Amino acid sequence: MTRLKESLGALLGAFFIASLLTGCGKPPKIPIYSDLQLEEMKIETVTLMPVVDRRVDKSYNINLESSIGDKVAKKLQKKGYTVIRPGAFSDTLEFTNEDVAEMEARELGAIGTAETDYMLLVYLDDASSKTALGYSFKMEATGLLLKKQTAAMLWKDKGIGSQGQGGLAGCMMSSMVKGEAINACLTDMLSSFPNAPSKRKA
């Protein structure tokens, strides 16, 4: 028993030292892609394009702009950006959601308004709910920041959010559970997106 206590004490001590060395905070998220000069570009304004629904299964009905677009805009503003929302994929050409969902990054320079410099596209990859023994909701989304003039990808990352509540309470609180899952997904997605210059620490 004494040896067990000594071993446990040594293990806890090592963990404590490692915590002091590495810090107890959660390490910053590494994006799928980030241009090495992204922060040096000093981007202040981002054009947030309409949310793109590229789900294979679109059976779950979700309002793309109020449930996702509005939340993304607020999160970008908290990061210090001025957010422009054109409301359409182009002011000169007609692009549908399906058109944009199938475009490759190099083709996306065709969308956006004439005044657009940097645009963020948010893709809804999955959204589903379950009502067995309560209520649960899961969402997956991908964000893509592009420089319109060159169609160059500057940043890309993915977010996943899942929340659930068991029993009758879960069914009664489905709206809140869904909102928390969506918020968690978008927070996860944008956690690697840099703050605007005005919000960065000196």
Side-chain half-sphere exposure of 136, counting CA atoms within 13 A: 9
pLDDT, residue 202, reads: 59
**pLDDT tens digit string along 138-197?**
999 999 999 999 999 999 999 999 987 766 655 556 788 899 999 999 999 999 999 999
Contacts of 30 (CB under 8 A, 6+ apart): 192
Helix axes 174-190, 70-78, angle to 10 degrees: 50
- Mean pLDDT, residues 47-71 taken together: 96
**Does the structure show a pLDDT above 80 at 131?**
yes
Q: Tell me the pLDDT band of 42, cut-offs 50, 70 and 90.
A: very high
- Mean pLDDT, rounded, for 80-104: 95
Residue 66 pLDDT more than 70? yes
Query: Which of 15-19, 119-123, 194-198 is most confident?
Result: 119-123
For 82, list phi and psi in degrees, rounded to 5: -85, 125
Mean pLDDT of the chain: 86
Q: Give yes or no for residue 7 having a pLDDT over 50.
A: no
pLDDT at 89 over 80: yes
What pLDDT is stored for residue 102 in this prediction?
A: 96
Q: What Cα–Cα distance (Å) separates residue 152 from each residue in 81, 149, 162?
A: 20, 8, 31
Domain boundaries, the chain: 28-199
pTM: 0.83
% of the chain surpassing 90 pLDDT:
68
What CATH superfamily is the domain 28-199? ABC-type transport auxiliary lipoprotein component (3.40.50.10610)
pLDDT for residue 69? 98
